């Protein structure tokens, strides 16, 4: 079992729709959770972080964390073609401090 | 305030050669980690340096080595390059006091693209 799992996609949504990206993790000691956006040929860019159970909203983005289910998700409302990218879920271990990434989900927003 | 800077941005090497990648951490940071991101994959942790020593290491062979200097900058060295070493190499910096706390304290550079032919 991989430590952080994501569906590789591609996930295709029409412009204006809600995109839902999911991630599961295996290390119960994990304490911080991050979503990075990566455009082709570029380095990852942090878009959301969450540390407590529940929802965290920032503009069109909402991160959701459920530690009991070891599940974290990212919702993108009013999706735009410029949101088309690969979204990486990352988990920071409380024991090691290192980031463990999923393989990423490719999102395609079609005009 | 400069963020994390990496050099070179792109380079091409031949199989069997050696490469050195460089990283300057964000001002105030003393801990540097290196990640390898192969095409279509998420970044994989290579190793982490603080106080000029390798403190943690991921599942990478000894061909991958590093160094941290007194000014906290770091180098990643890869010997006997293989085609499979072609990847984006990312440097991440943080401060030791924040390393094991919750929070967004890890900053990535723009990466170095290595192509091995």
Under 8 Å CB pairs connecting chains A and B tally to 62
The confidence score (pLDDT) of residue A96 equals 76
Contact assessment for residue B96 and residue B78, using Cβ atoms and an 8 Å cutoff: no
The confidence score (pLDDT) of residue B10 equals 97
- Which chain A residues contact residue B100 at CB under 8 A? 94-95, 97
Band the pLDDT of A109: cuts 50, 70, 90: very high
pLDDT digits (tens, 9 = 90+) for A40-87: 989 999 899 999 999 999 999 999 999 999 999 999 999 999 999 999
Measured in degrees and rounded to the nearest 5, phi and psi for residue A46 equal: -70, 130
Asked whether residue A94 carries a pLDDT value surpassing 90, the answer given is: no
Strand partners, A105: A87
Those residues of chain B that have pLDDT short of 70 are 1, 102-104
The residue assigned the tokens 């159970």 is A53
Distance of CA B9 to the CA centre of its chain: 13
Asked whether residue A106 carries a pLDDT value surpassing 70, the answer given is: yes
Contact assessment for residue A45 and residue A111, using Cβ atoms and an 8 Å cutoff: no
The confidence score (pLDDT) of residue A30 equals 80
- State percent of chain A over pLDDT 90: 78
- Which chain A residues contact residue B99 at CB under 8 A? 97
Residue of B nearest to A34 (CA): B104
CA distance B82 to chain A (A): 21
| Average pLDDT in chain A | 93
Asked whether residue A1 carries a pLDDT value surpassing 70, the answer given is: no
Measured CB to CB, residues of chain B less than 8 Å from chain A are: 33, 35, 40-45, 48, 56, 58, 88, 90, 92, 94, 99-104, 106, 108-111
Q: How far apart are the C-alpha atoms of B87 and A12, rounded to whole Å?
A: 26
- State percent of chain A over pLDDT 70: 99
| Three-class DSSP category at B20 | strand
- Could B90 and A46 be called an inter-chain contact, meaning their C-beta atoms sit closer than 8 Å? no
Would you state the torsion angle of the CA atoms of residues B98, B102, B104, B106, taken in this order, to the nearest 10 degrees?
50
Between A89 and A95, the more confident residue is: A89
């Amino acid at each position: 079992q991989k430590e952080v799992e994501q569906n590789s996609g591609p996930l295709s949504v029409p412009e204006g729709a809600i995109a839902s990206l999911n991630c599961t993790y295996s290390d119960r000691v994990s304490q911080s959770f991050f979503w990075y956006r990566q455009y082709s040929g570029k380095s990852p860019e942090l878009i959301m972080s969450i540390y407590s159970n529940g929802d965290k909203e920032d503009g069109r983005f909402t991160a959701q964390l459920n530690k009991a289910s070891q599940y974290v998700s990212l919702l993108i409302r009013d999706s735009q073609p410029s949101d088309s990218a690969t979204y990486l879920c990352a988990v920071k271990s409380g024991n090691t401090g290192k980031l463990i990434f999923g393989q990423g989900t490719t999102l395609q927003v079609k005009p | 305030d400069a963020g994390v800077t990496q050099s070179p941005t792109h380079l091409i090497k031949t199989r069997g050669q050696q490469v050195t990648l460089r990283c300057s951490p964000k001002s105030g940071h003393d801990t540097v980690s290196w990640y390898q991101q192969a095409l279509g994959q998420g970044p994989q942790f290579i190793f982490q340096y603080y106080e000029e020593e390798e403190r943690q290491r991921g599942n990478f062979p000894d061909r991958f080595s590093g160094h941290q200097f007194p000014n906290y900058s770091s180098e990643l060295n890869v010997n006997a390059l293989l085609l499979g070493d072609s990847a984006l190499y990312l440097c991440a910096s943080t401060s030791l006091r924040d390393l094991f706390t919750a929070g967004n304290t890890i900053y990535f550079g723009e990466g170095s693209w290595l192509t091995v032919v």
